[in-house]
Amino acid sequence: MDFFNDLADFSTAEIRELITLACRLDEKPEPRALDGKVLSLLFLSPSLRTLVSFQSAMVRMGGGTFVVSPDMSIHGLESRSGIVMDGVAAEHIHEAVPVIASYGDAIGIRAFARRENLDDDLADREFRELIALADTPYINMESAINHPCQSLADWKTMDDLGLPANGGKFVQSWTWHPQPMPLAVPAATVQMAAMRGMDVTVLRPEGFELPDTIMDKARQAAAMSGGSVTETDDRADAMKDGQVIYVNSWSSARHYANKRAEDKFKLELRDWCVDEPWFENAASDCRFMHCLPVRRGVTVTDRILDGSRSVVVAEARNRMLVQMAVLHQMLSSS
Amino acid sequence: MDFFNDLADFSTAEIRELITLACRLDEKPEPRALDGKVLSLLFLSPSLRTLVSFQSAMVRMGGGTFVVSPDMSIHGLESRSGIVMDGVAAEHIHEAVPVIASYGDAIGIRAFARRENLDDDLADREFRELIALADTPYINMESAINHPCQSLADWKTMDDLGLPANGGKFVQSWTWHPQPMPLAVPAATVQMAAMRGMDVTVLRPEGFELPDTIMDKARQAAAMSGGSVTETDDRADAMKDGQVIYVNSWSSARHYANKRAEDKFKLELRDWCVDEPWFENAASDCRFMHCLPVRRGVTVTDRILDGSRSVVVAEARNRMLVQMAVLHQMLSSS
Amino acid sequence: MDFFNDLADFSTAEIRELITLACRLDEKPEPRALDGKVLSLLFLSPSLRTLVSFQSAMVRMGGGTFVVSPDMSIHGLESRSGIVMDGVAAEHIHEAVPVIASYGDAIGIRAFARRENLDDDLADREFRELIALADTPYINMESAINHPCQSLADWKTMDDLGLPANGGKFVQSWTWHPQPMPLAVPAATVQMAAMRGMDVTVLRPEGFELPDTIMDKARQAAAMSGGSVTETDDRADAMKDGQVIYVNSWSSARHYANKRAEDKFKLELRDWCVDEPWFENAASDCRFMHCLPVRRGVTVTDRILDGSRSVVVAEARNRMLVQMAVLHQMLSSS
Q: What is the pLDDT of residue B77?
A: 85
pLDDT category at A114 given cuts 50, 70, 90 is confident
DSSP element (H, E) containing A92: strand A91-92
Residue B16: CB partners within 8 Å, gap ≥ 6?
none
**Contact list, A61 vs chain B (CB under 8 Å):** 36
**Contact list, C29 vs chain A (CB under 8 Å):** 36
Residue contact C72–B296, C-beta within 8 A: no
User: What CATH number is given for C3-146+319-331 in this structure?
Assistant: 3.40.50.1370
Q: Given CB atoms, is A63 within the 8 Å cutoff of chain C?
A: yes
pLDDT digits (tens, 9 = 90+) for A264-312: 999 999 999 999 999 999 999 999 999 999 999 999 999 999 999 999 9
pLDDT digits (tens, 9 = 90+) for B124-162: 999 999 999 999 999 999 999 999 999 999 999 999 999
Who has greater pLDDT, B80 or C303? C303
Cβ distance A143 to A110 under 8 Å? yes
Q: Which of A35, A64, A90 sits opposite C64 (nearest CB)?
A: A64
Write the secondary structure of chain B as one string of H (helix), E (strand) and C (coil): CCEECCHHHCCHHHHHHHHHHHHHHHHCCCCCCCCCCEEEEEECCCCCHHHHHHHHHHHHCCCEEEEECHHHCCCCEECCCCCCCCCCCCEEHHHHHHHHHHCCCEEEEECCCCCCCHHHHHCCHHHHHHHHCCCCCEEECCCCCCCHHHHHHHHHHHHHCCCCCCCCEEEEEECCCCCCCCCHHHHHHHHHHHHCCCEEEEECCCCCCCCHHHHHHHHHHHHHHCCEEEEECCHHHHHCCCCEEEEECCCCHHHCCCHHHHHHHCHHHCCCCECHHHHCCCCCCCEEECCCCCCECCCECHHHHCCCCECHHHHHHHHHHHHHHHHHHHHCCC
Q: Given CB atoms, is A52 within the 8 Å cutoff of chain B?
A: yes
Percent of chain B with pLDDT over 90: 89
Residue C145, classed as helix, strand or coil, is coil
Neighbours of B277 (CB within 10 A): 9
Distance CA C156, CA C151 (A): 9
Chain A neighbors (3+ CB pairs < 8 Å) = B, C
Mean pLDDT of A93-107: 96
Distance CA A283, CA B58 (A): 46
Q: How many residues does chain C have?
A: 334
Mean pLDDT of B257-278: 94
Q: Given CB atoms, is B30 within the 8 Å cutoff of chain C?
A: yes
Tell me whether domains A3-146+319-331 and A162-310 share a fold. yes
Distance CA B207, CA B226 (A): 28
Q: In the beta sheet, which residues pair with residue A65?
A: A39
Q: A140 CA to chain C: closest CA distance, Å?
A: 20
pLDDT digits (tens, 9 = 90+) for A14-46: 999 999 999 999 999 999 999 999 999 999 888
Chain B neighbors (3+ CB pairs < 8 Å) = A, C
Q: What is the pLDDT of residue C114?
A: 87
Residue A7, classed as helix, strand or coil, is helix
- Topology of domain C162-310 in CATH is Rossmann fold (3.40.50)
* Mutate which: C35, C52, C305, vs A, most A CBs within 10 A: C52
Q: Given CB atoms, is A49 within the 8 Å cutoff of chain B?
A: yes
pLDDT category at A244 given cuts 50, 70, 90 is very high
Q: What is the pLDDT of residue C334?
A: 57
Average pLDDT score, chain B: 95
**Contact list, C56 vs chain A (CB under 8 Å):** 38, 40, 64, 66, 103-104
Q: Which of C68, C90, C102 sits opposite B316 (nearest CB)?
A: C102
Type of residue numbered A220: Q
Q: pLDDT at residue C156 above 70?
A: yes
Q: What is the pLDDT of residue B67?
A: 95
**pTM of the predicted model as reported, rounded to 2 decimal places:** 0.97
**Contact list, C48 vs chain A (CB under 8 Å):** 68, 72-74, 91, 96
Residue contact C99–B320, C-beta within 8 A: no
Percent of chain A with pLDDT over 70: 99
Q: Helix-strand-coil percent breakdown of chain A, rounded to 5?
A: 45, 15, 40
Q: B102 CA to chain A: closest CA distance, Å?
A: 6
Q: What is the pLDDT of residue B199?
A: 98
Q: Given CB atoms, is C295 within the 8 Å cutoff of chain A?
A: yes
**Contact list, B48 vs chain C (CB under 8 Å):** 68, 72-74, 91, 96
Residue contact B103–A53, C-beta within 8 A: yes
Distance CA A200, CA B183 (A): 56
Residue contact C74–B46, C-beta within 8 A: yes
DSSP element (H, E) containing C219: helix C212-225
Q: B218 CA to chain A: closest CA distance, Å?
A: 39
Domain residue ranges of chain C, discontinuous segments joined by +: 3-146+319-331, 162-310
Q: Which of B38, B98, B99 sits opposite A60 (nearest CB)?
A: B38
Mean pLDDT of A185-209: 98
Q: Given CB atoms, is C76 within the 8 Å cutoff of chain B?
A: no
- Closest residue, chain C, to A70 (C-alpha): C48
pLDDT category at C74 given cuts 50, 70, 90 is low
Chain C neighbors (3+ CB pairs < 8 Å) = A, B
Q: Given CB atoms, is C38 within the 8 Å cutoff of chain A?
A: no
Phi, psi of A109 (to 5 degrees): -125, 130
Q: What is the pLDDT of residue A75?
A: 60
Residue A203, classed as helix, strand or coil, is strand
